[in-house]
Amino acid sequence: MDIKWQNCFGGSEKDQVYDIISVPGGYLIVGYTRSNNGDISFNHGGSDGWVIKIDTIGNLIWEKTYGGTEGDNFFRIFPDNAGNYFILGASNSSDGDVSFDPYIDSWDYWVLKIDIDGNIIWDKIIGGSNGENLSNASPTLDGGIVAVGWTYSTDGDVSVTYGGADTWAVKISSEGELEWDYSIGTDWIDKGQAILATSDGGYLIASNSIIPADAIGNIKCKPHSTGFVEGVVFKLDSILNIEWQRCYGGNNHDGIFGIIEVEDGYVFTGSTSSNDGDVTGWHGESDSWVFKTDFDGNIIWQNCLGGSKSEGANIVLKCSNDDLVIIGSTHSNDGDVSGNHSLFERDDDIWLVKLNSEGELLSQQCFGGAGNELNYFGAIKKGDNNFVIAAFTDYGPSFDVACSPDMNNPLDYDWWVFEIKDCAQYMPTTPQPATGPDTLCHTVDSTSVYQIAGDSTAWGYNWQMEPAEAGTITADSLQAMVKWNSSYQGPAHISAAAWNDCGESAWSTAKTTMVYSCVGMPEQKDTGLAVAVYPNPATEWTQFTWQLPTDDVKASLEIYDGMGRLLQSIQLQGNQGAHLLDTRKLPAGIYSCVLKTAGMQKTVKLVIH
């Protein structure tokens, strides 16, 4: 795949991006910033949640910071069902844009709703007095949102605690009301990393947990190890009853960071350092781990993706043919990985992997520069081979990174947003031949219009006419106009080609128009005669009607072709009447029909298709 456009955004301090969504006219991107210069117009203090809107080719439209005098971060953004947007993050502030914080001096979930211009509609602090960290979210069928992370609190909005850090999920209505909360955990460490509102009205919650042998809490599945992180998934129904729970992993650290629902189950992605239990095919250190289950949580297939260093992935996307795209990061340049740009082995490249529906590796590609590039949830699938990715970078320009973060500060991450496309799949389709006149007399028609049908693969169209001396062609996308050169006679060939960001199609089959001067036509005079023809253009027949100033039995109607040759002469009777003409034996073209009487004549043009 090729990068079609890219841009960097940020200031002189650390700016980190997390998520991107498509909106009318472009994209909204969220993360946080510590800067107060560059693209950042204002900083409330510490880190601020930062939202930017860009157009479809990466130009900055507007940006806004959100927060108070302490720390504030944004992690996810989703549309609601009314043209507004949920933003989910965490806040340690109790002022500024935080309208009310009942848990001062602690990090809490911070949920906002904004309009398309970035104005806050409402905001909500959710948590307790000992601190929470939000990590992921999912829109719900009723227009609300569910979010997950972890809590250390035993009060406030936290209904149930098991000890240590507990995975904590909440449901927020479209108006910002807390509808329920749900805890998963033991008396050790449990951190929620993924959540999905499922099509049956229930919920999947993934907790990365350390489960001791004598664990106290609601995790009842049998872990593959003690003392190491295990991926734990709870399936809840719509009223929070547990339908099933499963432990996934091996004898080392394993985690789940992303979930999607597919036609016959769920696909999970994360990381693994195991090579036993549920895991096979481990390459070294940590691999990106992808596995598919049925709707009851039974593993159908799994795959470890990576090399001898570390990989991980949060994003899994489904293609129209049931292929899967996994977007994460890699330190490696061996095993499944090739093309890593990083100069240092502990720096990341963005890593895009495509699997078939059975989890088998189809293709892979690295994107990045000489330094560190990483993404979390920032990816949009525009097509099966077309994506917009929001990541961050600390080194550019180099390799794929054409924009330039602050090279004077190695901790200065800037947002790096780019579109990639497999142009072998997205070349524009060659247009069908244009429609326009088959023949014409440029003494009558000084200009002609040609048209083509549009196609979704094209961004625009180019037109050409051969020979050039036939006239001048000007085009407006699907339509072109030819101004004919009065000295030209002969064929003119008009064709069009489609173009987009991947290139230009072949030229269409030419539409040929025969151009005649028609110099042999009798001259038109103001004689007082009247003649009309209908239908015009004609296909099988047409009817002439006429009227003469006097009763002249010697009147005639003469029909000439485009070269001025007389084809028919029809004698008329009376000073008015009608005549039906069979046009099926006449070739398509333009004809001159002349009503003649003693000393007078009147000409009308007839077009036959």
% of the chain with per-residue pLDDT over 90: 78
Q: Is 523 within a domain?
A: no
Question: In 3D, which of 223, 229, 266, 213 has the Cα closest to residue 247?
Answer: 223
Overall average pLDDT of the 200-207 stretch: 98
Grade residue 564 by pLDDT with cuts at 50, 70 and 90: confident
CATH code of 119's domain: 2.130.10.10
Grade residue 601 by pLDDT with cuts at 50, 70 and 90: confident
3 state SS of 552: coil
To the nearest 10°, the Cα dihedral for 323, 325, 331, 333? Answer: 40
Overall average pLDDT of the 201-230 stretch: 94
Q: Is 525 within a domain?
A: no
Q: Kindly tell me the sign of the dihedral angle through the C-alpha atoms of 8, 13, 19, 25.
A: negative
Overall average pLDDT of the 327-334 stretch: 97
Element (H, E) at 541: strand 541-547
585 contact partners, CB below 8 Å, separation of at least 6? none
Verify that 603 and 467 share a domain, yes or no.
no
Q: How far is CA 286 from CA 252, 274, 310, 311, in A?
A: 10, 8, 5, 6
Q: Is 560 within a domain?
A: yes
* pLDDT confidence of residue 308: 96
Instruction: Tell me the C-alpha distance between 101 and 82, whole Å.
Output: 27
Question: In 3D, which of 338, 502, 323 has the Cα closest to residue 422?
Answer: 502
Q: Is 420 within a domain?
A: yes
Q: Is the per-residue pLDDT at 131 higher than 60?
A: yes
CATH code of 601's domain: 2.60.40.1930
Verify that 257 and 404 share a domain, yes or no.
yes
Verify that 13 and 91 share a domain, yes or no.
yes
% of the chain with per-residue pLDDT over 70: 96
Residue that terminates a domain, selected from 516, 547, 569? 516
87 contact partners, CB below 8 Å, separation of at least 6? 30, 49, 51, 66, 74, 76, 77, 111, 112, 113, 114
Strand partners, 165: 189
Verify that 98 and 209 share a domain, yes or no.
yes
Verify that 305 and 415 share a domain, yes or no.
yes
Instruction: Tell me the C-alpha distance between 18 and 376, whole Å.
Output: 5
The pair of structure tokens assigned to 407 is 């090279």
Q: Is the per-residue pLDDT at 575 higher than 90?
A: no
Instruction: Tell me the C-alpha distance between 544 and 576, whole Å.
Output: 11
Overall average pLDDT of the 438-443 stretch: 80
**Mean of all residue pLDDT scores within the chain:** 93
Least confident window among 9-18, 131-140, 367-376, 589-598: 589-598
Grade residue 348 by pLDDT with cuts at 50, 70 and 90: very high
Verify that 408 and 465 share a domain, yes or no.
no
Degrees to nearest 5, angle at CA 56 with 2 and 410: 65
Overall average pLDDT of the 316-325 stretch: 96
- Using left for φ > 0, alpha for ψ between -120 and 50, and beta otherwise, residue 562 falls in alpha
Q: Is 11 within a domain?
A: yes
Residue that terminates a domain, selected from 491, 516, 541? 516
Q: Is 13 within a domain?
A: yes
Whether 178 and 124 have beta carbons less than 8 Å apart is answered as: yes
Overall average pLDDT of the 121-126 stretch: 98
What pLDDT, in 10s, does the model give residues 24-63? 999 999 999 999 999 999 999 999 999 999 999 999 999 9
Verify that 97 and 194 share a domain, yes or no.
yes
Q: Kindly tell me the sign of the dihedral angle through the C-alpha atoms of 584, 585, 588, 590.
A: negative
Verify that 208 and 299 share a domain, yes or no.
yes
Grade residue 123 by pLDDT with cuts at 50, 70 and 90: very high
Verify that 53 and 109 share a domain, yes or no.
yes
* pLDDT confidence of residue 209: 97
The pair of structure tokens assigned to 579 is 């005549």
Instruction: Tell me the C-alpha distance between 368 and 361, whole Å.
Output: 21
Grade residue 202 by pLDDT with cuts at 50, 70 and 90: very high
Residues comprising the chain, all counted: 609
What pLDDT, in 10s, does the model give residues 5-15? 999 999 999 99
Q: Is 521 within a domain?
A: no
Residue that terminates a domain, selected from 478, 494, 516? 516
Instruction: Tell me the C-alpha distance between 376 and 329, whole Å.
Output: 9
Instruction: Tell me the C-alpha distance between 372 and 376, whole Å.
Output: 14
3 state SS of 7: strand
Q: Is 118 within a domain?
A: yes
Place of tokens 């994506």: 387
Place of tokens 């805890």: 183
- Total of domains in the chain: 3
Whether 147 and 173 have beta carbons less than 8 Å apart is answered as: no
Least confident window among 30-39, 247-256, 512-521: 512-521
Whether 305 and 287 have beta carbons less than 8 Å apart is answered as: yes
* pLDDT confidence of residue 528: 62
What pLDDT, in 10s, does the model give residues 520-562? 444 444 556 788 888 888 888 888 888 887 765 678 899 988 7
* pLDDT confidence of residue 417: 98
CATH code of 459's domain: 2.60.40.10
DSSP symbol at 423: H
Grade residue 577 by pLDDT with cuts at 50, 70 and 90: confident
Q: Is the per-residue pLDDT at 444 higher than 80?
A: no
* pLDDT confidence of residue 409: 67
**Structural domain containing residue 73:** 2-425
Verify that 349 and 473 share a domain, yes or no.
no
Whether 90 and 37 have beta carbons less than 8 Å apart is answered as: no
Q: Report cis status (omega within 30 of 0) of the bond before 410.
A: no
Verify that 220 and 80 share a domain, yes or no.
yes
Overall average pLDDT of the 97-118 stretch: 97
Instruction: Tell me the C-alpha distance between 347 and 326, whole Å.
Output: 19
Verify that 38 and 133 share a domain, yes or no.
yes
What pLDDT, in 10s, does the model give residues 396-418? 899 999 998 665 665 578 999 99
